[in-house]
Amino acid sequence: MKALSLRPAPAVLAALLWAGVCGAQTAPDQPVATAHNDALLQLLQDKGLVQQVRRVRDAAGDMVVAAMAYLGAPYRRGGSSADEGFDCSGFTRHVFENTIGLLLPRRADQQARLPELAQVGREELKPGDLVFFNTMRRAFSHVGIYVGEGRFIHAPRTGSEVRIEDMRTAYWAQRFNGARRAGLVSTGAPDTADPAQP
């Protein structure tokens, strides 16, 4: 018997998140969840992400849900696709291009300086904003996507994989450089969780 992959294609996860996980009703004539979807739902439950996915869907829609489809994708320096893996800026570039059609520059520091992105204060963060960090003794050397409640999703480093982390931990709070917002990112109320506070 072939083992199930726990990292499905983004379309599969997006459909699962919008349907079963996020509480949408399935019509009686629609197919029930497959074993693959059951395994994915179990993985999300085991990682405590089901409620977070529901909140994110309501707050930011497609961009953050699409980013979450890559949880577990391997880190690869210079990588910019799920097939080869992602580095931090390759990940944000891929998500933005495939959800809102905005092609970001290749490097994190170039993304931070893109004129089409508005600067956002820490207290104004909304799901879908790009968040930048100084992780290599230079400004804007790392980037991720804010998902709400003080957390962000990113491709961290060699030997790791795309994951969600808390910006309020000392490591990330001390290295936060700023945030940027595309015009199409959610315009709802700012997230009230201050990422600087532990």
Q: Give the domain extent around 85.
A: 10-24+34-181
154 is catalytic: yes
Residue 100 in any domain: the answer is: yes
Contacts of 151 (CB under 8 A, 6+ apart): 52, 164, 165, 166, 167
pTM above 0.75, yes or no: no
**Would you state the pLDDT for residue 168?**
96
Residue 70 in any domain: the answer is: yes
Residue 198 in any domain: the answer is: no
Residue 197 in any domain: the answer is: no
Query: Residue 155: enclosing H or E segment and its boundaries?
Result: none
**Would you state the pLDDT for residue 44?**
73
| Alpha carbon distances (Å) from 159 to 7, 74, 75 | 17, 8, 6
Buried/exposed 162-178: b ≥16 CB within 10 Å, e otherwise = bbbbebbeeebbebbbb
Q: What is the CATH number of the domain that holds 94?
A: 3.90.1720.10
pLDDT beneath 70, residues of the chain: 1-38, 40, 49-61, 184-198
- Out of 22, 36, 94, 154, the active site residue is 154
Phi, psi (deg, nearest 5) at residue 68: -65, -20
Residue 69 in any domain: the answer is: yes
Number of domains in the chain: 1
**Would you state the pLDDT for residue 8?**
44
**Would you state the pLDDT for residue 60?**
56
22 is catalytic: no
Residue 4 in any domain: the answer is: no
